[in-house]
Amino acid sequence: MKKKKSKVTAYNNWGYAFVAPFVIVFCIFSIYPVLRTLYLSFTNLKVVGNADIIGFKNYARVLTDKFFWTALWNTVRIWIVNIVLQLGLAFLLMMVFSDVKYKMRGLAVFRIIYYLPNIIAATSIAFLFSTLLDWRYGTFNIIIKSIYDLFGAKYNPVNWIGSSATAGYTVAVIQSWMWFGNSFLMLMAGVQSINRDYFEAAAIDGAGRWTIFGKITLPLIKPIMMYVAITSLIGGLQMFDLPFLMIETASSAYGSVQTVMMYLYKFGFTTGTTQVGYASAVAYVLFLIILTVSVVELRLFRGKGDK
């Protein structure tokens, strides 16, 4: 008996060997950088060289800098428009494809097409759209103008990405266009994981399609909606590629689309404005915001009805 036990332990020791490469790389490239950033956030390091510990001064500066708050508001504003469109569209599609009366076909093909924009690099999307949406020479405005011309109306070209009134919304719409397919696929996966018997039992009991949707489909996919919303928020608050590449720094729209990550990039990595200590504090403030909102969001969803 004793011998057998020691043999099992010997087997279990292989666990160390299997997990070791992960742990080593994880410590060096994940845990250390996160802790290093935390340390730097308490220093006044500019670019390189010596730095002094200055306590919470960087944090105080983040919280009192009105440009930080503008950046946070820009990020949240763009995200809200984005998530409402993205999740709304995904939700409508899910309703259409899960409807027990219409029994729509072609899901296999539609979902591939809807997912397509997801796989393309944001850098390519950024240049594609900033060229299409150029207010004077872009194909988008040219097409709208020719439609107006058809009806004899006059079109005043909208400066989609160059004016502060529209730039944020333009970015939000493009992001929704990129990601609604992803949300739709997730919601659909949730619907398909629901036991078919529920629907049949409900149908036998004479429940209408709206009752079935409201009483079975909706409650059962709520956890997935929550998951989509939280992952989207975590990603959304780190929004960078599209606004960074699409909006010219010199443009008057820049101030209305500068996101928190762009603000962090300015202090963390842009020559001339580099203040590593300060940028680190920005990273941690953003992290705390993401953490707080995720927890609140989780509570809100959990609190309503479900155990």
Instruction: Determine if 113 is a binding residue for other proteins (CB under 8 A).
Output: yes
Q: Binding residue for other proteins (CB under 8 A) from 63, 189, 201, 300?
A: 189
Q: How many residues bind other proteins (CB under 8 A)?
A: 94
Q: Compose the 137-176 pattern: x for residues touching other proteins by CB under 8 A, - for all others.
A: x-x--xx--x------------------------------
Residue 101 vs 196, nearer CB to other proteins: 101
Name residues contacting other proteins, limited to 28-87 (CB under 8 A): 28-37, 40, 48
Q: Give the ranges where the chain is alpha helix by DSSP (H).
A: 2-26, 32-40, 57-64, 66-98, 107-115, 122-132, 139-150, 167-192, 196-204, 209-212, 218-237, 241-246, 254-257, 260-269, 276-303
3-state secondary structure 213-259: HHHHHHHHHHHHHHHHHHHHHHHHHCCCHHHHHHCCCCCCCHHHHCC
Burial zone of 230 (CB within 10 Å; 0-12 exposed, 13-18 middle, 19+ buried): middle
Q: Binding residue for other proteins (CB under 8 A) from 100, 132, 202, 220?
A: 132
Name residues contacting other proteins, limited to 267-306 (CB under 8 A): 268-269, 276, 279-280, 283-284, 286-287, 290-291, 294
Instruction: Determine if 263 is a binding residue for other proteins (CB under 8 A).
Output: no
Region near other proteins per CB under 8 A, out of 56-64, 121-129, 154-162, 195-203 = 121-129
- Which residues, at least 6 apart from 135, have a Cβ–Cβ distance to it below 8 Å? 141, 157, 158, 159, 160, 161, 162
- CA 122 to CA 26: how far, in whole Å? 27
Contact criterion met (CB below 8 Å) for 261 and 74? no
Q: Binding residue for other proteins (CB under 8 A) from 53, 60, 80, 120?
A: 120
Instruction: Determine if 188 is a binding residue for other proteins (CB under 8 A).
Output: yes
- Least spacing, CB of residue 25 vs other proteins, in Å: 4
Q: Binding residue for other proteins (CB under 8 A) from 228, 229, 253, 257?
A: 228
Q: Any bridge partners for residue 53, and if so which?
A: 43
Name residues contacting other proteins, limited to 206-225 (CB under 8 A): 223-224
